[in-house]
Amino acid sequence: MTSNRELRRATSLVAAREFRQRVRGKAFRVATVLVLLGVAAAIVIPKLANRHSSSPPQKVGVVGSLTSAQRSAVDRAAQDAGVRMSLQSFDNRTRAVSAVRAGRVDLVIDEATSVIVATTISRDDGSDTSDLAYGVAGALGTQAAITRARLSTAQISELYASHPVPIQALHHEHHSRPVNQAASTIGLIALFIMLSQYLTWTLVGVMEEKSSRVVEVLLATLRPVQLLTGKLIGIGLTVFLQAAMVAVVGLVLAGTVGSDVLHGASPLVLGSTLLWLFLGYAFLSWVYAAAGSLVERQDQVQSLAIPLVIPLVVGYVSALSAIGSGSASLFVKVLAYLPPTAPFAMPALVGLRAVTWWQFALSALITLVATVATARLAATVYRRAVLRTGGRVRLREVLGARAN
């Protein structure tokens, strides 16, 4: 009888060979560099763009004069908004309005009683002009109220030293927008690229072992499930080496440039994305390996790849759309419980804060159970199909049939 130790030893030898060959390969190096460049670009470019866009100071016209208290209030408002500004005095309102219309100034403070802007603004449009206009309007309004109340200097100091009281929520409501859209988007794109790459390796790797006939020599020594498990573990280790490199480089880079990717829910998004990379690979790799055992030529691989990739694309596109729109549709919520699409949909729900921990755990459990069932079926298909040569083997031929 072959001992379990010997079985594990042979499986680990297969995994080690697979890992070594993959990591040595040009495809791994090129793919890793491309993913790293993509992640670096996604982190650095928005930061550079923000820095560039915030650099010109807002030009603020002033009609009439500002008291020292009002001037201090306006300066504090600009500081709170993170906007630099330069003040420009106007003799009268008409000239100031003309300057706003002509774009020579961004906004005008009219006699410390109103703020004039060129077009309608909203609080959440994210522009420096909007942030500054709302900040200045609020500050001047507060300052006017203080003056009317005739507060003493001590009272005014006390007022400005105030802190907001804590907010206690009776019911937890999900936010409709992700805390960090960038982190979710970067995670999804990297997840899709990496899963697609390694699942293709699995499919083509099994096909190549079949077409090169080396599988017959290997199976004279190993059990099919050992060979298949070793292969999937080897490629899986390559996946996690690459994922670890991407995560480390991404985190270090984000920390270095001070990117928002590190803030808010991003560690949660990153963790769930890595977990679903693992769960997604664990489930889908068996499917791809079984499919690879049915074919022995590149053109046959291509005909199989299309139906195999459809669930991935549906999951990926739906998840990306949900992140982009800031809300999770019922469709995406359903996809989050289906093993082929959950690796994309569930991290998106995490990014949107549209999932509870038990829903997350339930989806992971469903995928794990499906993985065990799929692995058993895939091993049967592999054993029966991988030694059949001479053309593409139909799935219905091997299910219910004997081994070759």
Residues of this chain that bind another protein (CB under 8 A): 1-2, 6, 10, 13-14, 17, 21, 208-209, 212-223, 387, 389, 402-404
What's the min distance (Å) between Cβ of 12 and another protein? 10
Q: How far is CA 267 from the centre of its chain?
A: 11
Taking the C-alpha atoms of 376, 381, 384 and 390 in order, what is their torsion angle to the nearest 10 degrees?
Answer: -160
What's the min distance (Å) between Cβ of 17 and another protein? 6
Do the Cβ atoms of 279 and 194 come closer than 8 Å?
A: no
What's the min distance (Å) between Cβ of 372 and another protein? 24
What's the min distance (Å) between Cβ of 38 and another protein? 27
Terminal-residue alpha carbon distance, the chain: 24
What's the min distance (Å) between Cβ of 224 and another protein? 10
Q: How far is CA 148 from the centre of its chain?
A: 51
Nearer to another protein, 26 or 150 (CB): 26
Nearer to another protein, 51 or 213 (CB): 213
Nearer to another protein, 123 or 396 (CB): 396
Q: Which of 357, 224, 337 is nearest to 283 (CA)?
A: 337
Quick count: other Cβ atoms within 10 Å of Cβ 159? Answer: 13
Q: Which of 404, 392, 377 is nearest to 301 (CA)?
A: 392
Beta carbons within 8 Å of 66's beta carbon, 6+ residues apart = 74, 109, 112
Taking the C-alpha atoms of 134, 135, 137 and 138 in order, what is their torsion angle to the nearest 10 degrees?
Answer: 110
Nearer to another protein, 220 or 306 (CB): 220
What's the min distance (Å) between Cβ of 221 and another protein? 5
What's the min distance (Å) between Cβ of 269 and another protein? 38
Nearer to another protein, 18 or 110 (CB): 18
Q: What are phi and psi of 181, to 5 degrees?
A: -65, -40
| Amino acid (one-letter) located at 8 | R
Nearer to another protein, 147 or 404 (CB): 404
What's the min distance (Å) between Cβ of 382 and another protein? 13
Nearer to another protein, 19 or 90 (CB): 19
Here the tokens at position 301 are 């691989």
Do the Cβ atoms of 66 and 143 come closer than 8 Å?
A: no
3-state SS assignment for residue 114: strand
Do the Cβ atoms of 107 and 87 come closer than 8 Å?
A: no
Nearer to another protein, 224 or 250 (CB): 224
